[in-house]
Structure 1
Amino acid sequence: MTPDPHHEHRLRCVADRIINAARAAGRPPPRLLAVSKTRDAAEVAALAALRRALGEDRPGFGENYVQEAAGKIEALGDTGIEWHLIGHLQSNKARHAAELFDWVQTVDRPKLVAALAQWRDPARPLDVLVQVNVDGEAGKHGCRPDNIPALAEAIAGEPALRLRGLMAIPTPHSDPEQRRPAFSRMRALFDALAADHPRIDTLSMGMSDDLEQAIAEGATLVRVGTALFGPRPPKD
């Protein structure tokens, strides 16, 4: 497949933004998760090839919907992609998610912990993040900050699951600087959790328009879609 020059340019721009933000903050560069919702398998394969050419052994891609991801995962087969579920997961789809994904970033309730553990092979534990509703938004997915310790303990107690850290999507603001306090609170929550679970290593926050602010506050993984793939195609 011939690389798309637009994809290559966007990838290099995002990589430069990540490196520059990390350097300015005096932090190691975070991992990049490409958000591939609504993108087809060919686009994913092309971007994965570009990322491997730039030195990534196992590029990560994030999907919002289990059914949509299943078609891409089946189409691409064993191509060395690390698949993350970053959308809300209903308990009745936990079996499919546990079988398909390498990571689930949106665990926010005990029922989901038990459902994922039931269907995952303990020989290859599922990497899990606790999703936090850091701004306390009504109707938004994610656990309350004060529920993190109990949920983390439940995950850590399941041999089929591996607690890796926290994930959040702060309240959107037109000015990315207004999201910085939420990112700072997430870093404090992560540090508090690490005191009891020192092996955690992932703080997933920051997207195309606010990755610099997230990195400055301690993100170890940023989720980028539009800045990598370009604007989403219009709906029919």
Structure 2
Amino acid sequence: MRNTLTPDHVQQLFKNGQFIEAHATALALYAQQPDDYELGLLFLQTALFIERADSVIAVLQDIGRDIPAQTRHLLLFQAQLGHGNCGAAWQHLAQTGLAPNSLSFHECAFRIASKEHQLDRALSHLQAIEGLSDVSLAHFFKKFEILKLQGKYDEIGRQITQLQQLIPRTATTEQAQLKLWQAGIAHDKHHFTQSLEITTQLLEDCLLQAGPHPVPASEQPVKTWTRQRQHQVIN
């Protein structure tokens, strides 16, 4: 039985829709190695999926002595955040020992601020992250979501323009994502014609890049003999 208890087995149970079984298997795995952060995270993810963050909190409190302090508090931070208890999440984050100016701290603090809908604070953590590491386009989309809630459409447009100049034209997926954001912002500003133009151009570009496709049988020209046969049947 021990050989079947692997993270891959948990993932397979998830794919099969066996969510309770996946959670139980993840718990069994984690009980074998409570100091393994990745296994703890897997257990947490299965619990959050079935809305049982409380079970993670209970388990961690029960076996807490066997877990390194930072690992325990990081898992409890995520469990409490998933449970919607932002105050407790802050307490555990403070006890992780992460430096307040570190990348990991700002990433965790951003998640709490977002959960609490503290937009200015969430934005400040994202800006701090930009100063500490290279960031992906997904990072800027998180930033745009906050700026959008603040109604700062012009700022979003300015940053999109900058990103379009920095990202190679050959990165078509990323460029298309930025175009979609442009169209959405134009729509939110009630510039509907501009939004439609951007979307139409984007669709044309996508079709051009995709190349020609076979015409579906239902759209192909009907052969003459078929028309004649139809006429014969109708009459």
TM-score by length of 2: 0.29
- Larger strand proportion, structure 1 or 2? 1
TM-score by length of 1: 0.29
Bigger Rg over Cα: 2
